[in-house]
Structure 1
């Protein structure tokens, strides 16, 4: 039996912003997740691997190195000595693994075990498989496992310069617990009695590599009689913990149908500076019943960028080879070199993925004598809007869909917000799709290129936004474990968690705004969910980090042994002193030298995080019954130090260039290190700065995360709305105007005038700037948690409507219950309806001059102003 299924249409479903057509039926799974067996159950099992399984032995470099070929299979034929009452299977893997009971896939989770620290932690998955087995006495049930290198023995887990891959080769460990009708119980762990071989139709797989599948080869569980015995594998001796958050799922309810598809062959108008334009031979508006011939290329537009996998119904002569690549954007402008294009107009742009054509691909060889079959890759995922496909013999594609892959299950989605402004609604949708795409086992930066890593700054700037759209409590319990696993012994947090292909070095562990996620994320999760457990789990690690900052007064130059003498700071801003663009350097005697102003800027920003971290630590200490005086005193000491070190008495910065920038002023206002007339002058300078830039922001990752709320808190909500509704570059709506369906990494990832942004770092699904939606929830909708009564037991409701938005509807299933906020303009009057959940209260402040805060109790309320 192969992994193919009979096709059946199901009813139409609705995804986020997209009406879905009938989709192929997906394989049914058996078994259901249950709590893990007691941890001592692992004592009867060992890690097992396939003797002689392929392993990479050459050095891994920066831009290449595919994982080893083949999939490892493990099989056990388990006879029933008596009639079975219950069967439980507890499993763990080194590498992406799929489980089968009597040939049927087990569990709805995909890409198990997910991404964790290579040395310290693995996550286990336990299933009740009673209904999947033959329970009769004397029956024999076959348990089988396919394991491929992903998350373990591939590039994502291997730093440059490593000989081979960090994980070696795939391995598996499990315990089967059988309870018989007479009440007796046995446990059977993995050992050398399991059969093992490199087998099955998956001939290559990796998180970056993609998947190669040869349908002529039978599934491993069909050929177990030819396997040899497994060997004991000792490469991993870390802790196995039950998975309890951040599992990965496919989302059939969000299945995407093609918006358009076409076949091209041949190129016109190419010259020395242009790749030209593809010649379209046939259009397929619905993406169905497509024929692709040798020499032709199919391009499919799914209308939505997402982390996903394709689902095919197709047929071709046996042995036909099909190759797919995945792209976020198409080449344009007659393929102009000057616009950063990598091929003719109308072809898929792949350069921003940063690796060659051997990566991020899908290769499929047809079997089954030309019958129509269904296939989806199970060992990897892709980040794309466009699929491009070629074949060496005619292929008929009955249908092709895009199936989102995410750790945000439908049950986790908790909030919706819509407005009367179509552009803002598209921005909100882009943010939600960014979260769906990038909350995938870890909070990744992007799902498409050779990263897909848990970058900590991206995580912390978006954490509160994400908590409104989905219940992310358990997700971040899992990830903060990854963060602790990657923490330096002296206290600094890695900028990537779990440690992976980047940032294993000790001098990468005190990056301002990145390392601070170790304090910021637990605080946000506690504030949003009243979850003190996440504080307690992280307290020791957070204290160690705060002691490190405090011991060095958060001075960049004093922390160079941890930050390698450089900071990423306000990454990808449009301001001077931006690191990626080279603003931190000046030329001296023909060589680049780091500007001293940059080091001053970094010390100032690190000091501001020191202040805000200490404030958060004081809150969390109090919430968990700890003495908060240490952090109250630390926050005051930090404010005094940063104020005297970086500011003059009149509120201007001692380093002159900072007075020309938005981000330094925003942090000064955010951390309350300035007051009185000096504060008013800083606000005036900030207003003038926005005016001089045509009411455009100039901020990057860090400045944008505090931009809108800081403006609102300081009486500049009018500017915040101007920035939100701005269409010029840089702005949120500039990308919307250019067809974005997710948030871009750069404000100028693509511009009409110049084409593509820098190819070495240019993602079109990079969720960080979606943090603007936090302001929409907090200020536009007026729904904000109160850290004095977390988990929305008390709500701060200070909505600030705007006639240009017209109307707003927000629904949020908070930890305290459902919160609603709706407002709509009728002429100059605005009517606001809001709901406070049972047991909660709210401090309500209306956006009218002279309004005083009022306390409201639970229930539905209506106010017109």
Structure 2
């Protein structure tokens, strides 16, 4: 390979004549992509390459804490030219990066994936992307092609993977590694890998700063790195990463232009009225813009844009201003209200963007753009980060004209992965379903992030497991979870514990936290059941078996795992019940002033742990049976767990031995789910649970764990009436309370925002969490009556037991399952209920009509019944 960076400008001039293999509109940009994804080269090809870094790349050396949390400045650029030794018939480029990277050939971007390579364990696994770039090169003998790469710190050298008090970032320098496979006209092949002789590297290009939390700083006056050879020099070998490079095969990230959001409202303000000591006042709107009208923002003014939908996204502009004008765009999830009353948790005047809940609003989540010398409008969107927002606030140092602004969603749920639609005759429930779908799109982003907006965005494992089944109805998440379970295995402890966060990141690495660690079993079981995928079982069997052995040997006892769990459990996180951990109810301070868990809390945690021990063991039995493994050991494990639960925690009359548990909903729900009580004891528990809901005004009190099993457990135990009361409940806490309060995604807290009181706790308050969207699993499986049978996974045998309610009006569900298209549609005409359903070719269904116990078997076909 011959490096000749000085020829890069001449090569870029040829770009207009290079045929492209992909073209799509990204926001306000008509984006041409070179190359098509293809299979990776043989793994041995990596031997022809090394990781390389820019010698002059900045390295963060300060201790990471508080406001010292920003990544190093600058983007690393890498470039090399290859002279064709002969006529070329094929070129493939296998690539990997330490940091978020973009590829270019002759100045054209390669591939339409966004934020490559995605989020993985920083030390153990990196994902590669391979492209056939034949149509993007000049293939004539003796001609040259320029290959270039930009790498920024995301998911490698930034805060998201770096614990507090760490000296510097986990990743020090961004790096690139790649191999080109040339095939010549005579049939011969040659590999060209990254090295320090034929490649150049340096800090270059218009991206002055970028990271996942920080946002992006972009100066359009500066040329791309492949056009500034004087900024590039000999690179150095990077030896920071010694893990495995695996081909990306699931959880890639894309911009969803088909979902691009236009403003529903846009206005500028400059002055504020009504300011008091206790309130920031209210903005004075000087102009509100109509749809399609050119927006003008003058110095001293603030533009507020409402896109009408909270989402993980990037703002995309078509705008114009004088050279050197600096535009600052700040995303937010909600607007300040109530005259900016400080008592409501507001951080600015009513009508301005609220950003306190982002936790680092002054250091992060910022887009800063400096205009270059352009006479007309230019298009731009950030390429090295993403935000979570519904609103943006825009200011500028001089007048800016905005021809168009859009919010373009960023997600791993590509359009062709969306496989399920469900609607009802109730607008509030439809909004709840929409909120759930947007929560999944926003948070299935390389990993199952808890939220896309604040300085967190981590793969929390309980959030993941409680929502996994729900998500499979709206999208084909099979490959997504193959990738994520690799992240789980990478993060598993030597003893076998699974973490609170996967992949390992800035925090959340605590093992054996009940309901979190269990995702290591629940997720593979769910994916296997929903998609009929034995491979995910095989890939994870060793790790799952190691975990279950650990659980079984210790009875999942909290104190047995203190070394790994830190003597803390998240448990039924954010519930409204006593012994809730986040609010401190599970803890006390002893006479010596030491804070620790209450004895009742430890008993509660051990009860929940043993409940999951039983659930996990049953799932292992199912997966063992399906894959030809010994299921008897797991059947015994489940039996032992249930015997332990009964003997340790329950009296014969169906009451809990620890009195406070009898005042709560979640303990009873887990007892009923695990069939721990029968006969009169079961009747007593059901009656007691009914009384509990009545005492709370037909409101749930459950948190992350209890809510995940709430609706189906009630229905399975003769309390479908309560399930529907909870579904339609509008008081706090309830699902529709958030809808009534303006939610367009699922909230982290039942009371994240209250019209009458304002913001919930600002230190941990997200308006785009997805966990509580698990209610849609019940809507799919029970209201619509479409459920998989674990005995015959992948919907080859469907359990159809619809439970209708007139308040829904009607329901219409279509699901492109692994077995084919399943339909379920019912409606009421007076008291007459009509149900139409479709069983796909080759599948069967066990059907139970509402109010009946008789089960009828149906073969493939479409049917209509009345009742």
TM value normalised by structure 1: 0.96
Unmatched runs of 5 consecutive residues or more in structure 2: 1-8, 17-24
CA–CA distance in 2 between the matches of 1:93 and 1:286?
A: 41
Task: Indicate which of 288, 291, 315 corresponds to 1:286.
Answer: 291
> Contact conserved, 2:29 with 2:380, CA < 8 A, in 1?
no
Task: Indicate which of 571, 574, 577 corresponds to 1:572.
Answer: 574
Counterpart in 2 of 1:242? 247
2:69 pairs with 1:65? yes
Give the length in aligned residue pairs: 846
> Contact conserved, 1:79 with 1:138, CA < 8 A, in 2?
yes
Aligned residue runs from structure 1 range 756-767, under 5 A: 756-767=759-770
CA–CA distance in 2 between the matches of 1:50 and 1:182?
A: 37
Counterpart in 2 of 1:121? 125
2:549 pairs with 1:544? no
> Contact conserved, 2:28 with 2:380, CA < 8 A, in 1?
no
2:54 pairs with 1:50? yes
> Contact conserved, 1:259 with 1:287, CA < 8 A, in 2?
no
Deviations 1:456-499 (A, max 9, x none): 00000000000000000000000000000000000111110000
Counterpart in 2 of 1:35? 39
Task: Indicate which of 164, 170, 184 corresponds to 2:168.
Answer: 164
Counterpart in 1 of 2:675? 672
2:186 pairs with 1:182? yes
Deviations 1:382-435 (A, max 9, x none): 000000011111111111100000000001000000000000000000000000
CA–CA distance in 2 between the matches of 1:226 and 1:803?
A: 69
Aligned residue runs from structure 1 range 389-468, under 5 A: 389-468=394-473
Deviations 1:184-238 (A, max 9, x none): 1000000012011100000000000000000000011111354211111100010
Counterpart in 2 of 1:796? 799
Distance 1:607 1:22, change over 3 A: closer
Task: Indicate which of 361, 378, 383 corresponds to 2:383.
Answer: 378
Q: CA deviation at 1:65?
A: 1.0
2:701 pairs with 1:698? yes
Task: Indicate which of 824, 836, 839 corresponds to 1:833.
Answer: 836
> Contact conserved, 2:77 with 2:202, CA < 8 A, in 1?
yes
> Contact conserved, 2:62 with 2:68, CA < 8 A, in 1?
no
Q: CA deviation at 1:266?
A: 1.5
Distance 1:284 1:22, change over 3 A: farther
> Contact conserved, 2:271 with 2:284, CA < 8 A, in 1?
yes
Aligned residue runs from structure 1 range 768-787, under 5 A: 768-787=771-790
Aligned residue runs from structure 1 range 494-509, under 5 A: 494-504=499-509, 508-509=510-511
Deviations 1:93-122 (A, max 9, x none): 000000001111100101000000010000
Q: CA deviation at 1:503?
A: 3.1
Task: Indicate which of 518, 521, 534 corresponds to 1:519.
Answer: 521
CA–CA distance in 2 between the matches of 1:128 and 1:834?
A: 44
Counterpart in 1 of 2:734? 731
Counterpart in 1 of 2:205? 200
CA–CA distance in 1 between the matches of 2:713 and 2:155?
A: 39
CA–CA distance in 1 between the matches of 2:244 and 2:602?
A: 40
CA–CA distance in 2 between the matches of 1:143 and 1:741?
A: 43
> Contact conserved, 1:84 with 1:180, CA < 8 A, in 2?
yes
CA–CA distance in 1 between the matches of 2:598 and 2:162?
A: 33
Aligned residue runs from structure 1 range 103-118, under 5 A: 103-118=107-122
> Contact conserved, 1:260 with 1:287, CA < 8 A, in 2?
no
> Contact conserved, 2:460 with 2:508, CA < 8 A, in 1?
no
Query: Could you say what secondary structure the match of 1:839 adopts?
Result: coil
Distance 1:92 1:649, change over 3 A: same
Counterpart in 2 of 1:647? 650
CA–CA distance in 2 between the matches of 1:23 and 1:575?
A: 45
Task: Indicate which of 538, 554, 557 corresponds to 2:556.
Answer: 554
Deviations 1:7-51 (A, max 9, x none): xxxxxxxxxxxxxx9963431111100000010010100000001
Counterpart in 2 of 1:631? 634
CA–CA distance in 2 between the matches of 1:253 and 1:178?
A: 35
Q: CA deviation at 1:649?
A: 1.1
Runs of 4+ in 1 over 6 A off after TM superposition: none
Q: CA deviation at 1:555?
A: 1.3
CA–CA distance in 1 between the matches of 2:846 and 2:338?
A: 54
Deviations 1:652-705 (A, max 9, x none): 001000000000000000111111110111001001100110000000000000
> Contact conserved, 1:176 with 1:188, CA < 8 A, in 2?
yes
Unmatched runs of 5 consecutive residues or more in structure 1: 7-20
> Contact conserved, 1:85 with 1:179, CA < 8 A, in 2?
yes
TM value normalised by structure 2: 0.96
Deviates more, 1:591-600 or 1:410-419: 591-600
CA–CA distance in 2 between the matches of 1:427 and 1:452?
A: 22
Query: Could you say what secondary structure the match of 1:535 adopts?
Result: helix
> Contact conserved, 1:287 with 1:400, CA < 8 A, in 2?
no
CA–CA distance in 2 between the matches of 1:225 and 1:444?
A: 40
Query: Could you say what secondary structure the match of 2:807 adopts?
Result: coil
Task: Indicate which of 363, 377, 380 corresponds to 2:368.
Answer: 363
Counterpart in 1 of 2:331? 326
Q: CA deviation at 1:837?
A: 0.6
CA–CA distance in 2 between the matches of 1:447 and 1:123?
A: 21
> Contact conserved, 1:83 with 1:136, CA < 8 A, in 2?
yes
Q: CA deviation at 1:145?
A: 0.2
Distance 1:545 1:287, change over 3 A: farther
Q: CA deviation at 1:589?
A: 4.8
CA–CA distance in 1 between the matches of 2:56 and 2:108?
A: 27
Deviations 1:796-842 (A, max 9, x none): 00001111101111000000000000001111011100000111000
Q: CA deviation at 1:169?
A: 1.1
2:345 pairs with 1:340? yes
> Contact conserved, 2:699 with 2:729, CA < 8 A, in 1?
yes
CA–CA distance in 2 between the matches of 1:485 and 1:590?
A: 40
Query: Could you say what secondary structure the match of 1:368 adopts?
Result: coil
Distance 1:558 1:62, change over 3 A: farther
Q: CA deviation at 1:62?
A: 4.8
CA–CA distance in 1 between the matches of 2:374 and 2:664?
A: 66
Task: Indicate which of 800, 805, 809 corresponds to 1:806.
Answer: 809
Q: CA deviation at 1:588?
A: 4.8
Query: Could you say what secondary structure the match of 2:269 adopts?
Result: strand
Counterpart in 2 of 1:141? 145
Distance 1:644 1:287, change over 3 A: farther
CA–CA distance in 2 between the matches of 1:226 and 1:556?
A: 57
Distance 1:733 1:64, change over 3 A: farther
CA–CA distance in 2 between the matches of 1:133 and 1:731?
A: 57
Q: CA deviation at 1:765?
A: 0.2
CA–CA distance in 2 between the matches of 1:674 and 1:120?
A: 45
Task: Indicate which of 532, 556, 570 corresponds to 1:530.
Answer: 532
CA–CA distance in 2 between the matches of 1:324 and 1:167?
A: 28
CA–CA distance in 2 between the matches of 1:285 and 1:808?
A: 36
2:662 pairs with 1:662? no
Counterpart in 1 of 2:865? 863
Task: Indicate which of 100, 105, 130 corresponds to 2:104.
Answer: 100
CA–CA distance in 2 between the matches of 1:22 and 1:47?
A: 31
Aligned residue runs from structure 1 range 485-496, under 5 A: 485-496=490-501
Counterpart in 2 of 1:387? 392
